[in-house]
Amino acid sequence: MPAPIAVFDLDGTLVDTAPDLLATLNVVLTEAGFEAMPPEKTYGAIGHGSKVMIERALEFQDVMLEPEEIRRMHEHFLHYYAYNISEHSRPFEGVIALLDQLADDDVLLAVCTNKLEGLSVQLLEALGMADRFAAIVGADTLDVRKPHPGHLLGTIERAGGDEDRAIMVGDSRTDIDTAKAAGVPVIAVDFGYTEIPVTELGPDHVISHYDALYDLAVPLLGLSPD
């Protein structure tokens, strides 16, 4: 029988990946002859993928490049990031304890991210977290990606979860819009990389620390309270 399932975004939700992503972006920019970007100007692009991060940084500097030049910068980004993926990236406070609580209640865990699948698996393996998840579904795993609802529903299906007893946990408009389109309750963290405060985006709940998530998840997942 399908089991209850909690699906998590990765960057800015499960793991604070900004230090390594932004460091990689600035290496790529400066080696291509452009200026490094301050973190506050690029945080909001993180959840949209590394190519968008590059494009946003170039737009901020009023730089227009041919698609082939952006492609080469993107390849450089992916290569450099793969070798520096977990230098400073760490799970957010309370994540591991929360995952343990859910697993103890036989809740399936999954990741649905717009990060490439290979990089997502590599990062979670480096942090000792990959084995916790029944499915790790990246931007290139399926034919669609967030905010298409099929990305989330496909993740639930791959993990063997019950879409009627599912939650999505994310940090951005993309995650919230995806969950709403899929008909899945969504809990937003307010410490991620969104450009717009999640309180303004209409999630079902907002949390500021993972110690608040379990009590919200119990009724949404149809669990029996302790």
Enzyme catalytic residues: 9
The runs of H, that is alpha helices, within the chain are 18-31, 39-42, 50-60, 67-83, 95-104, 117-126, 149-159, 173-182, 213-220
Q: Decide if 171 contacts 44 (C-beta within 8 A).
A: no
Residue 171, both tokens:
């940090």
Per the rule left: phi > 0, alpha: psi between -120 and 50, beta: everything else, 111 is beta
Report the C-alpha gap between 131 and 150 in whole angstroms: 24
Strands 135-137 and 161-170: unpaired
* DSSP letter (8 states) at residue 11: B
Look at residues 109, 119, 177, 171 and name the one whose alpha carbon lies nearest to residue 145. 177
Look at residues 181, 1, 10, 59 and name the one whose alpha carbon lies nearest to residue 51. 59
Q: What is the DSSP string of 198-223?
A: GGGS--SEEESSGGGHHHHHHHHTTP
